[in-house]
Amino acid sequence: MDCIFCKIIKGEIPSTKVYEDENIISFLDIAPANKGHCLVMPKEHYETLIDAPEEILNYTLKVGKKIARAMSSSLGNDGFNVLINNNKSAGQLVPHMHIHVIPRFKGDGVRLDWTPKKYKDKEINDFAEKIKKFL
């Protein structure tokens, strides 16, 4: 496996860590949306949110909350985004499940928006039914 995050976790590639325990690591993103942008991930390799076991997801998010709190206390940001991109079409650049915790400041110019689509007639109900069938 040639996963850059696994190499960082193993210490083969340097990173600027902000948190580490036996299951999770968090470090500063080297291409941040804003300075202080952290990545939080399980040390065990899972490609996407769907691949990770529930207990790992829960614990990763718990650490993400801890990082967000520390970030907000130390950087004085007005808010923060917590994002998980899954697969290339959703913007996932490294196929190792991770959470982005991005500090936000008024007028920072960071854009995380999209052009809204519109449902036709009762199409919204059709989409809801398709999804419900797999729950």
Nearest-angstrom CA–CA distance, 83 and 117: 21
Reading the block at residue 108, the tokens are 């920072």
User: Which residues constitute the domain of residue 61?
Assistant: 4-132
Amino acid at 4: I
pLDDT tens sequence across 77-102: 999 999 999 999 999 999 999 999 99
In the numeric block, the tokens 């039914």 are attached to 129
The reply to whether 100 belongs to the active site is: no
User: What CATH number does residue 62 fall under?
Assistant: 3.30.428.10
**Cβ(42)–Cβ(52) below 8 Å:** yes
pLDDT tens sequence across 113-122: 788 899 999 9
Domain count along the chain: 1
pLDDT for the residue numbered 103: 97
Half-sphere exposure of 70 (CA within 13 A, CB side): 13
pLDDT for the residue numbered 115: 84
Decide: pTM greater than 0.95.
Answer: no
Q: Quick one: pLDDT band at residue 34, thresholds 50, 70, 90?
A: very high
Catalytic choice (37, 45, 96, 98):
98
